[in-house]
Amino acid sequence: MKLSLTLALALTTLIGTYGTAVAESPKKTEEMTIVEVAAGNKDFSTLVAAVKAAGLVETLSGKGPFTVLAPTNAAFEALPKGTVETLLKPENKDKLVAILTYHVVGSKAMAADVVKLSEAKTVQGQSVKIQTSAGGVKINNAKVVKTDIVCKNGVIHVIDAVLLPSDK
């Protein structure tokens, strides 16, 4: 019970810290698709460019529901130099698709649901590990910095690192 209360407070703090106006549009996020919300926020410009390069705009604009673990531009910048540019090349589309779909769960998982899980299977096929503690929630090694950005076709949780699937 104490851990649940601590997690709830941590998640509330994260929501307040990161801000509530995620989409820089007069529309409410609940009326917009995941892609529209991401495209309306300058902190997701690298993610949006990657989604476009991977040909996933139509899919992530579809009915869903989806849960997207959305890395910020800073998360992409933390990758080794040249990684993003290399992934955006047409010849690397399959690898880019694998990385991006590793950030998507094929259901709507709100923060209250996520903290009850130890892992979640992604659209890419592999599972991500979920760790909860008094310090917050981590997906693999990425810290969740904003939760429950509700969209009409799912939900976005903002993370501070790019998740990389293991090579099979």
Which pLDDT value is given to residue 27? 75
Percent of the chain topping pLDDT 70:
84
pLDDT tens digits along 99-111: 999 999 999 999 9
Q: What is the number of domains present in the chain?
A: 1
In a domain, 123, yes or no: yes
Query: What pLDDT, on a 0 to 100 scale, did the predictor assign at position 167?
Result: 81
- If you average pLDDT over residues 67-77, what whole number do you get? 97
Q: What is the pLDDT of residue 68?
A: 97
pLDDT, one tens digit per residue, over 17-58 is 333 334 445 679 899 999 999 999 999 999 999 999 999 999
Domain membership of residue 166 (yes or no) is no
> What is the pLDDT at residue 26?
61
Q: The domain that contains 7 carries what CATH number?
A: 2.30.180.10
What is the pLDDT averaged over residues 115-132?
Answer: 96
164: in domain: no
| Domain-embedded: residue 167 | no
* Cβ-proximal residues to 7 (8 Å cutoff; 6+ apart), any chain: 115, 132, 134, 136, 137
Asked, for residue 143, whether it belongs to a domain, the answer is yes
Which tokens in the block code for residue 116? 């009850």
With contact defined as beta carbons under 8 Å apart, do 37 and 29 qualify?
yes
60: its two tokens:
């992530």
Indicate if the pLDDT at residue 94 is higher than 80.
yes
Let me know if residue 72 belongs to a domain.
yes
Q: Tokens 């939760």 label which residue?
A: 147
Q: Give residue 98's domain range.
A: 2-159
